[in-house]
Amino acid sequence: MKGKDAMPVKVGDPAPDFQLKDDTGKIRTLDEFRGKKVALYFYPKDNTPGCTKEACSFRDGYNALQELGIVVLGVSFDSSESHQRFKDKHKLPFILLSDEKKEVAEAYGASGGLLGTFAAKRYTYLIDEHGTIVHVFTKVDVKNHAEEVMQAFSKHSGK
């Protein structure tokens, strides 16, 4: 089920695939990351205080995340051009995806944040190598979110 009537995904569900433009305008799919752990994080808006802190947390923890085989994908309703400016300004090394039609956020249950239908909720979905949701964050510590993600993946993999 898609759209507003869709039930939010939960742990154990297959992660819905998508086709979204990245910060360079290239179409990306979740399926292209099959075989890797993915931290798919939705955030309200580029260049706002909380979103910048969260993105910088992933930036600062990026090497450690990569060592654990975790791919970071950020998603908001901003345009690819806005994402490129946000990445450049804060030197973000990971992919940002543009969900301007809000379809992916709706499929995951992350639509309708603080700004209503104008922004995504600050939710993060951890997806294992097989494309299954293994953890959902509905409350995020923006300054330490990369660490939260690494700990949750470690617990899931039993390390």
Residue 75 lies in a domain: yes
8 A C-beta contact, residue 43 and residue 57: no
> Which amino acid is located at 90 in the chain?
H
Binned at pLDDT 50, 70 and 90, residue 111 comes out as confident
In the predicted structure, residue 1 carries a pLDDT above the cut 50 = no
Judged on CB neighbours under 10 Å (0-12, 13-18, 19+), 13 is: middle
Residue 42 lies in a domain: yes
Residue 90 lies in a domain: yes
8 A C-beta contact, residue 152 and residue 135: yes
- In whole angstroms, give the CA distance from residue 19 to residue 97: 9
Residue 7 lies in a domain: no
Give the pTM.
Answer: 0.91
Average pLDDT, the chain: 90
Structure confidence at residue 158 (pLDDT): 64
Q: Is 124 helix (H, G, I), strand (E, B) or coil?
A: strand
More confident residue, 1 or 13: 13
Q: Euclidean distance between the first and final Cα of the chain, in Å?
A: 35
Q: How many domains does the chain have?
A: 1
Which residues are known catalytic residues? 51
